[in-house]
A and B are shown apart, each in its own frame.
Chain A
Amino acid sequence: MEPGRRGLMPAFPCGKMEEGKARWPDGVFAHLEMLEARAYEAAVKQEETEQREEKLARLKARVQELRRQRDELRAKVDLQQKGLGKAGVVSDAAQPSARAVLEWKIKSVKAMLQVFYLTGISGKLTKQGVCFCISTAYEGTYLDSYYLDLLTKPEVRIHRHSVPTFIPLEQIAKKHLETDIRRFLSVLADHLNAYVGRRHQADQLQEHFSDQIEGTLQRNSLCNLLVFNYNLSSRSKTFPFNARLLYGDLCCSLPTEVSVSCTPEAPASLAETAAAHSALFRRVALHRAFRSFSSAAERADVAP
């Protein structure tokens, strides 16, 4: 732009005045729009970056605070362990408050009540009677617990319970509830523990030896009838043995009747094995029996 002609020349360089005037508004506004868009994008990006930095700062601060708390607690626990090591009893610098002593006692009694859970019969008194809790276990593994809410007046009767329908609760109650509650609970616990024990064996078999069983184990809800086809090794693709276990005694977790047969296509040599298994299943828990097969098979593999 020539300095002398300032006032007369248009701000934007363009072609002839006449032509430029027609195109001029589009060009200017398009350019303005583009600049606006660019400015907007830049602002958005700026805000995003600021937010990200803010979030990062917050997270960093939180991590530092948590690390501090964690280190403090670790030091507290270490000191506590050292103090225990020396005297066997923690000697608190400050005298414990009356509230702390009470809370200790409450926790202590609660712990004792929890130990009763491990004995098989626990419970608590209610306004109208007692609510018993029967716990079940298979060896060292505690399984389901069942509740019995009993009313004691005018006579002992069951208000509510969580005993499954296939357990003959009414029968047992009719026989023992009014004469001897302890006996009633004991008989009921026998039934429940046996049921849970049978179910646990079947579950363990299904869980750990599923490749030796054809399909899934067939069982009824009481778990006192099991039917399944099986083989001795997980590598075999056929299931030559058919087993049927009947647990005639509902208070027992071992079967009273076992029949193990071979499928018609199976080699005759297996008949002896089937007979041996038949006897085995009557004496040994099902999943244990299967575990003994695997270890026998492993030993056979290793033997020269």
Chain B
Amino acid sequence: MENSIFEAYEDEIQSLEEEIKLLAEKYEDSQQESTFFSDEEILMSIKSFQREFWGESKGYESPSDLKALLETLETDLSFLMKFTGIRFTSHSKKTVEKTRNGTVRKHRLSGKCHSLSFQLEFQLLEMQNKDSVSTVITDLSIVMESGEDSDVSKFVSSTEEHRSLLTFFRSLSSYAEWYEHRRCTFLHFK
């Protein structure tokens, strides 16, 4: 009889701990998603951070560690943009729902692939499995600059219907490269 009281308390403790973890993550996500700092603000912060802690580092990450990390990440990002030809001009996301089963986020993404502009809005569901995270697109809407082209609009609506975000990017890449090649060829003959 008494053991059931213990179990009840222990169950409540576990569920409270999970809830606290979720709430903390929700708060962090919201903070991240609703803040924005310009490049100048970031440069200023790097300088003032280094001044504050010159010579001494408190905690794990010294200013030079963070600065180095930021540089590495930005170098990787700019390499990928150059290599793939896909340049993102803006990206925002908002956590729509966060439960024990998974997180749903709404993303707004705009960019250019070579010279073709696109704007995307999609919903992403991420579920934590035993040792991996599964990602599923649950909603997708695409706006393309050359949307009047009937082939392009057919492609866009079929992609939206099947929520094939990956196929969109892969096809966009090869189409944009061909388009670019054609454009250069025409310019060459002008």
List A residues at the B interface (Cβ < 8 Å). Answer: 52, 55-56, 59-60, 62-63, 66-67, 69-70, 73-74, 76-77, 80-81, 84, 88-90, 96, 98-99, 101-113, 115-116, 118-125, 130, 135-137, 139-142, 182, 186, 189, 193
Contacts and interface: CB of A to CB of B under 8 A. Distances in A.
Interface string B110-152: 0000000000000000000000001111101000000000000
B137 A113 contact: no
Given A56-B5, A135-B166, A140-B140, A104 B23 contact: no
B83 A76 contact: no
Contacts of B46: 98, 102
Given A74-B23, A80-B30, A63 B16 contact: yes
Interface in B75-121: 75-77, 79-80, 83-84, 86, 88, 91, 93, 107, 109
B84 A121 contact: yes
B9 to A, nearest CB: 4
A113 B166 contact: no
Given A59-B10, A140-B162, A70 B170 contact: no
A110 B80 CA distance: 13
Given A59-B9, A98-B45, A113 B76 contact: yes
Nearest to B76: A124
B27 interface: yes
For B10, B75, B76, B162, which residue has the most chain A Cβ atoms within 10 angstroms?
Answer: B76
B42 A113 contact: no
A140 B10 contact: no
A151 B83 CA distance: 16
A84 B92 CA distance: 15
For B34, B44, B162, which residue has the most chain A Cβ atoms within 10 angstroms?
Answer: B34
B184 interface: no
Give the interface residue-count category, chain B.
35 or more
A132 B67 CA distance: 24
For B26, B48, B80, B169, which residue has the most chain A Cβ atoms within 10 angstroms?
Answer: B80
Contacts of B138: 140
A135 B93 CA distance: 21
Shortest 5 CB-CB distances between A and B: which pairs?
A: A140-B163, A140-B137, A98-B49, A101-B45, A119-B169
A105 B23 contact: no
Contact of A137 (B32, B83, B164): B164
A129 B17 CA distance: 43
30 contacts: A56-B9, A59-B13, A69-B16, A69-B20, A70-B20, A73-B20, A77-B26, A89-B34, A90-B30, A101-B42, A102-B67, A104-B37, A106-B69, A106-B70, A111-B91, A116-B80, A118-B165, A118-B166, A118-B169, A119-B169, A120-B166, A123-B76, A123-B80, A124-B76, A137-B165, A137-B166, A139-B163, A139-B164, A140-B137, A189-B170
B56 interface: no
Given A99-B63, A119-B173, 4 more contacts: A59-B9, A70-B19, A80-B27, A115-B91
B31 interface: yes
B185 interface: no
B91 A89 contact: no
Nearest to A137: B166
A104 B35 CA distance: 8
Contact of A66 (B20, B74, B76, B93): B20
Nearest to A99: B49
B174 interface: yes
Contact of B31 (A90, A106, A124): A90
Contacts of B186: none
Nearest to A83: B34
A109 B42 CA distance: 12
A130 B49 CA distance: 31
A73 B109 contact: no
Given A60-B9, A140-B163, A182 B83 contact: yes
A103 B34 CA distance: 14
A115 B76 contact: no
A290 B37 CA distance: 52
Contacts of A98: 44-46, 48-49, 52
A119 B126 CA distance: 16
Given A69-B20, A137-B166, A105 B42 contact: yes
Nearest to A189: B170
Given A113-B76, A120-B166, A186 B174 contact: yes
A52 to B, nearest CB: 6
A140 B36 contact: no
